Amino acid sequence: MESQLVVLGGGPGGYAAAFLAADMGMQVTLVEAEPRLGGTCLLKGCIPSKALLHVARVVAEAREVNEWGVKYGAPSIDVATLRARKDKVIQNLSGGLKQLAKKRKVTVVQARATFENSQTLKLEGGDPATYSADRLTFEHCILASGSIPAMPSAFKLPTDRVMDSTGALELADVPESLLVIGGGYIGLEMATVYAELGTKVTVVELTPTLLPLADRDLVKPLQDRLNKLFAGIYLETKVTGLSDLGNAIEVGFEDAKGRRSEKFSRVLVSVGRRPNSTGLGLENTEVELDEKGFVITDDRQQTADPHISAIGDVAGEPMLAHKASHQGKVAVEALLDEPAAFHPAAIPAIVFTDPEIAWAGLTEEQAKAENIAIEVIKYPWAASGRAVALGRTEGFTKLLIDPDSERILGVGIVGVNAGDILTEGVLAIEMGATARDLGETIHPHPTLSETLGFAAEAFLGSATEIYRPRPVREA
Ligand code: FAD
């Protein structure tokens, strides 16, 4: 078998690259080990977690409206139906990808692939009916093999009571108690799902803060709410070991006060992900890896091997689906000799908890660390009519602005649906927009997106809904 372009991995990086290449007239083969396309994001990441988080949100809202005159009883959870709905969402989207591949005449091979050399993949397993030979040669390959959950050997126990994110998303049951090891976004999203379904959830984190990559002020409103939702949040606490008691997992903790242990029905280990770059035969190519195992590429996604590009989680942080697909498009355009390069001014990050946290571009922590002069303006959602109507005024929208040029360098939002309203800020950063551009854009009322315009108005000296006297800046 041979192909002009082979894309290895059918996740959001791989299928975006394969589809664009086919649209541009290339002959494309997409190799994926799993029976369905979609990768981590669709099969065991972004989409199933958001399907479950939506249910969590409905449960929370039903509880909240009790105080506003609409009474619902305690929820009764039918786990099998919940699971089936989540699987239907995945099936629907994955089926769509299969159809799109077919329409574009992308050959989909279901097999595990390993590099024999820089222009040959060996195919094994999967569905042999999808390939006519066990060697696939190519002019160029885009490697999009993604990442896998990190599971420290000390936490590896031969029981399904200890889960990684994939196990947690399977939703085998609603356990009585759950310990989430790791206060990053995946851990907190899964913790939110289980807590709203009725599990007593505890989160343990080694560092002094949840979500260490986000600005502290953005995390505070979330942490205040999680303090009420979760049974416990243990910060600066080390997990010293796990032992399987048969009907529970005993977990040892160590913090400034000393050592103790507690029992949990289940444990979710969510301590990060690592690039899927081992066992692929990359040693038979000229591809180079960094000390963390990420494939090294240039800004056109080209590796040290002239026949191989790399994109997505396997090619470096941040490990996010939209970064993977963007890099997929850059890699294809670079192959077509177009002037493409991966130089985003902002890669948005969203934590889909309740409230959500969303940020893009420069953060305050980063500005401090890199000594970048900024002016920070925060618009409290207590002054947003929409937030008051929703009963969710704990949020705020902040802009990080260059004091000289008045350009927007960073945006941070905490509040319900923060993720959906972030994009305007991403566009502002990418387009080099100034606070005046944002402030003078007519925002629809009453929306949460207005808070971006209001924050810019506040920076310029006068925002209608808040009184904060300060010099009005000249146009
Ligand atoms: P992947 O999606 O990991 O796809 C790689 C594919 O390559 C896999 O399908 C794999 O089977 C295949 N493969 C690997 N090796 C081989 C081989 N040898 N032969 C054949 N096939 C192979 N990101 C977001 O942006 N937003 C979110 O809300 C979000 N939520 C997440 C929630 C969870 C629980 C998790 C785990 C991740 C989440 N992510 C989220 C991260 C996101 O899933 C990844 O960043 C994204 O999937 C990376 O895309 P990719 O194409 O690089 O790789």
Kindly state the percentage of the chain with pLDDT values over 90: 97
Q: Is the CB of 126 under 6 A from ligand 1?
A: no
- CA gap 8, 446 in Å, rounded: 46
Residues present in the chain in total:
475
pLDDT tens, position by position, 121-135: 999 999 999 999 999
The band of 464, judged by pLDDT with boundaries at 50, 70 and 90, is confident
443 counts as catalytic:
no
pTM for this prediction: 0.96
- Choose the residue to mutate in 112, 145, 151, 314 for probing ligand 1, maximizing ligand atoms within 8 Å of C-beta: 145
Q: Quote the mean pLDDT of the chain.
A: 97
Q: Is the CB of 324 under 6 A from ligand 1?
A: yes
The band of 467, judged by pLDDT with boundaries at 50, 70 and 90, is confident
Q: What is the mean pLDDT of residues 210-232?
A: 97
Q: Residue with the nearest Cα to atom 53 of ligand 1?
A: 146
pLDDT tens, position by position, 55-112: 999 999 999 999 999 999 999 999 999 999 999 999 999 999 999 999 999 999 999 9
Q: Which amino acid is at 145?
A: S
Q: How many other C-beta atoms lie within 10 A of the C-beta of residue 338?
A: 12
Atom of ligand 1 nearest to the CA of 9: 7
Q: Is the CB of 353 under 6 A from ligand 1?
A: no
Q: Is the CB of 214 under 6 A from ligand 1?
A: no
Q: What is the mean pLDDT of residues 114-127?
A: 98
Q: Residue with the nearest Cα to atom 45 of ligand 1?
A: 320
- CA gap 429, 321 in Å, rounded: 20
Determine the distance separating the centroid of ligand 1 and the alpha carbon of 324, expressed in angstroms: 9
CA angle (126 as vertex; 125, 129 as ends), nearest 5: 100
Pick the closest to residue 66 from 323, 391, 290 (CA basis).
391
- CA gap 199, 143 in Å, rounded: 40
Q: Is the CB of 146 under 6 A from ligand 1?
A: yes
What are the residue ranges of helices labelled H in 113-184? 165-170
DSSP per-residue letters across 458-474: HHHT-BTTB----PPPP
Q: Is the CB of 356 under 6 A from ligand 1?
A: no
- Choose the residue to mutate in 20, 41, 141 for probing ligand 1, maximizing ligand atoms within 8 Å of C-beta: 41
Q: Residue with the nearest Cα to atom 14 of ligand 1?
A: 145
The band of 159, judged by pLDDT with boundaries at 50, 70 and 90, is very high
The band of 470, judged by pLDDT with boundaries at 50, 70 and 90, is low
pLDDT tens, position by position, 256-277: 999 999 999 999 999 999 999 9
Dihedral-angle region of residue 246 (phi above 0 means left; psi in -120 to 50 means alpha; beta otherwise): left
Q: Residue with the nearest Cα to atom 37 of ligand 1?
A: 45
Determine the distance separating the centroid of ligand 1 and the alpha carbon of 248, expressed in angstroms: 31
The band of 468, judged by pLDDT with boundaries at 50, 70 and 90, is confident
Q: Is the CB of 165 under 6 A from ligand 1?
A: yes
CA angle (143 as vertex; 142, 149 as ends), nearest 5: 155
Determine the distance separating the centroid of ligand 1 and the alpha carbon of 148, expressed in angstroms: 8
Q: Is the CB of 37 under 6 A from ligand 1?
A: no
Which residue among 140, 307, 443, 445 is the active-site one? Answer: 445
Strand partners, 413: 358, 397
Determine the distance separating the centroid of ligand 1 and the alpha carbon of 349, expressed in angstroms: 16
Q: Is the CB of 415 under 6 A from ligand 1?
A: no
Task: Quote the pLDDT of residue 279.
Answer: 97
**Sheet strands side by side (includes 249-255):** 238-244, 249-255, 258-264
With a cut of 70, say whether residue 214 has pLDDT above it.
Answer: yes
The tokens describing 179, both together, are: 């310990």
Task: Quote the pLDDT of residue 411.
Answer: 98
Task: Quote the pLDDT of residue 362.
Answer: 98
**Sheet strands side by side (includes 396-401):** 349-351, 356-361, 408-415, 396-401, 375-380
With a cut of 80, say whether residue 472 has pLDDT above it.
Answer: no
- CB environment 272-288: b (16+ within 10 A), e (fewer): ebbbbbeebbbeebebe
What domains can you pick out in the chain, each with its CATH number?
2-149+274-335 (3.50.50.60), 153-271 (3.50.50.60), 349-460 (3.30.390.30)
Kindly state the percentage of the chain with pLDDT values over 70: 99
Atom of ligand 1 nearest to the CA of 313: 52
The tokens describing 234, both together, are: 């243990």
Q: Residue with the nearest Cα to atom 7 of ligand 1?
A: 9
Determine the distance separating the centroid of ligand 1 and the alpha carbon of 208, expressed in angstroms: 29
Termini Cα distance of the chain: 64
With a cut of 70, say whether residue 305 has pLDDT above it.
Answer: yes
Determine the distance separating the centroid of ligand 1 and the alpha carbon of 435, expressed in angstroms: 36
The band of 466, judged by pLDDT with boundaries at 50, 70 and 90, is confident
